[in-house]
Structure 1
């Protein structure tokens, strides 16, 4: 099984790049610090539910879509 933090970080990074956002722009949209976005994308942080909600808002998606992608990436149901 893949490391969930690393897999989630890649998902956030890919969605951010697809939206043509910098880490700073995503951080501003999500009301979080840019260094925290970097840490999440590198798999160094395990985001809380509140952070999941903020990231989803910043990426203009739903938390459930982020979790669904994570489930597919780590081999969940």
Structure 2
């Protein structure tokens, strides 16, 4: 495993950590984009967080209801972890 696969695995762990007990209606861990983007640990781990999120969405590991994620404008978008 390397590159993006490794980053997606790290992302899954960080979403679980940040979500705590917050879930969507189906029990999937959920965290706001603004929480992830402002988290010190995530900013140290991910060089290109938005790129990692896009790759994870393409692989159906996560989902979110936005074409684009911009800090500030999309802080309240829910990032839902589909695959643990």
TM range (shorter): 0.3 to 0.5
Taking structure 2 as the reference length, the TM-score comes to 0.33
Indicate the structure with greater helix content: 1
Structure with the larger strand share = 2
